[in-house]
Chains A and B, each alone.
Chain A
Amino acid sequence: MITLEAVHKSFGPKRVLRGVDLTIPKGESMVIIGGSGTGKSVMLKSVLGLVTPDQGKISVDGQDVTHAQIGRDRDAFLARFGMLFQGGALFDSLTVWQNVAFRLLRGSLKRPKAEAREIAIEKLRRVGLTPDVADLFPSELSGGMQKRVGLARAIAAEPEIIFFDEPTTGLDPIMSGVINDLIREIVVEMGATAMTITHDMTSVRAIADKVAMLHDGVIKWTGPIAQMDESGDPYLDQFIHGRAEGPIEAVR
């Protein structure tokens, strides 16, 4: 279970998170929606310790991780996580399969090279990529393919907690469908806890158990996906129907 309590984060004068409260129960799929630039990525990164909150508390399974430093404990903590970055964040000095198998080639999860490669190719297949991309470099792939390699890397070590930052942005509708199914499968089959950021309402309906909407630095609404359409919340309604008119200003 992941809990955020009154998390604040500013970058200089820009107050991005202004008291985020959110709970993600174990084994559930939480989808975060909200306008671009509202701090969704910053929120994910603060759970991972990549961004240190100015105030508030973040805990994972009851353990306070707000100010965890990089070190042995942190490695053990991070070994339970998989993260797909918004831009893919593939290592461009390594080939595709070495990216996917990064964790399996070094550190505590290290295994023989041939085995790591096999697992990488299997994960690539699961995100709809053929084995012949394995030996290419990330710069030789299209944006959507890079995204899927990033996804394969995030799930390669079968983490218990997975964060997806805009997994379907830049993919065609069919590939989006494949990725949505995959995320759903990971949550159901592996019992993983997932937190997904997306703007794609089809994705939201396909993968969410619960939805949370971030606006103005706070969680404006959160609840089960079934209640999303009848929430009566004007912010949420405007967002899910994509209306230009409403309480959320179009110019931010």
Chain B
Amino acid sequence: MTALTTPLAHLGRAVLAFLAVTGRVAIFAFDGLTHVFRPPFYLREFLTALLHIGWLSLPVVGLTAFFTGGALALQIYAGGARFSAEAVVPQIVAIGMVRELGPVLVGLMIAARVTSSIAAEIATMKVTEQIDALVTLSTHPMKYLTAPRVLAALIVVPLLVGIGDIIGIYGGYIVGTQQLGFNPASYIKNTVDFLEFSDIFSSMVKGCAFGGIAATMGCYFGMQSGRGAQGVGQATKASVQAAAVLILAANFLLTSVFFAS
């Protein structure tokens, strides 16, 4: 009997633990958001966060998008050739980048780059009592640390996604025109004609959601960090995992909302 029920009990406990964490994260995220709109505001922290999340992420976002766009063009060309539909490369690259790959890849890169660094920084502050020190200096850690980072991510990640989309399409364009023999002018025309406003809009909404998830997870796991260097390591790992999974789940959800009708 126990041999049968033990795995069930494990599963049950895991599900309960997952639900508990989800609840705590949701409360944390809501709390963080309310602080975004209530004074005091810390402009300096916000500008620093904009710089780190946005500007300094540009190289990695650009490279990721460029190579992915190029690879996409090659795949679509090869796949399309099987039923003589090679000509759809510009359209499918555009739609694939803007609707899915742009937001998802930028989101994952932000999770790798920004979530991890936020989590490690805040966890180190926790471990070295800097968070306690903030409180004793009458400064709310959620306002001073979380709100500026979340707000910056909400604003700047959609922009990064937009840039990623463009560079991805450009990657496809380079491969298409240099290697696959597409005419440059008609490649651009096909891309522009094919994309609709709703594609671009969905891309931005996804960017906003993924940015929010990435920054919130970094802050949450940083604040929850255990003691010592091990605590910081755990917090960082958990934050990136959670951010990546949540971004992919949110992407599925948003794609269903936007395109499955």
Contacts and interface: CB of A to CB of B under 8 A. Distances in A.
Contacts of A125: none
A106 B140 contact: no
Interface string B131-166: 011111111100000000000000000000000000
A91 B42 CA distance: 15
B129 interface: yes
Contacts of B177: none
Given A78-B138, A102-B137, A107 B132 contact: no
Contact of B130 (A82, A86, A89): A89
B139 A106 contact: yes
Contacts of A45: 132
A83 B136 contact: yes
A70 interface: yes
A181 interface: no
Contacts of A92: 130
A83 B133 contact: yes
Contacts of A50: 132, 135-136
Nearest to A102: B137
A48 interface: yes
A31 to B, nearest CB: 20
Contact of A89 (B40, B42, B133, B139): B133
Given A106-B40, A106-B42, A107-B40, A91 B136 contact: no
Interface string A65-92: 0000010000100110111011101111
A205 interface: no
A75 B125 CA distance: 20
A108 interface: yes
Contacts of B128: 87, 89
Contacts of B135: 48-50, 70, 78
A91 B134 CA distance: 9
Given A87-B128, A107-B40, A70 B140 contact: yes
Contacts of B125: 91
Contacts of B42: 106
B176 to A, nearest CB: 45
B129 A78 contact: no
A34 B228 CA distance: 24
Most chain-A CB neighbours within 10 Å: which of B129, B132, B134? B129
A70 B40 CA distance: 14
Nearest to A41: B129
A103 interface: yes
A203 to B, nearest CB: 21
A50 B129 CA distance: 10
Interface string A180-195: 0000000000000000
Given A106-B40, A106-B42, A87 B129 contact: yes
Contacts of B136: 48, 50, 78, 81-83
A44 to B, nearest CB: 10
A85 B132 contact: yes
B242 to A, nearest CB: 24
Interface of B: 40, 42, 125, 128-130, 132-140
24 contacts: A48-B136, A49-B135, A50-B136, A70-B135, A75-B138, A78-B135, A78-B137, A78-B138, A82-B136, A85-B132, A86-B129, A87-B128, A87-B129, A89-B128, A89-B129, A89-B130, A90-B130, A90-B133, A91-B130, A91-B133, A92-B130, A106-B40, A106-B139, A107-B40
Given A85-B129, A86-B129, 8 more contacts: A50-B132, A50-B135, A79-B138, A83-B133, A87-B129, A91-B130, A103-B138, A108-B138
Closest 8 CB pairs of A and B: A89-B129, A89-B133, A75-B138, A83-B136, A50-B132, A78-B138, A85-B129, A102-B137
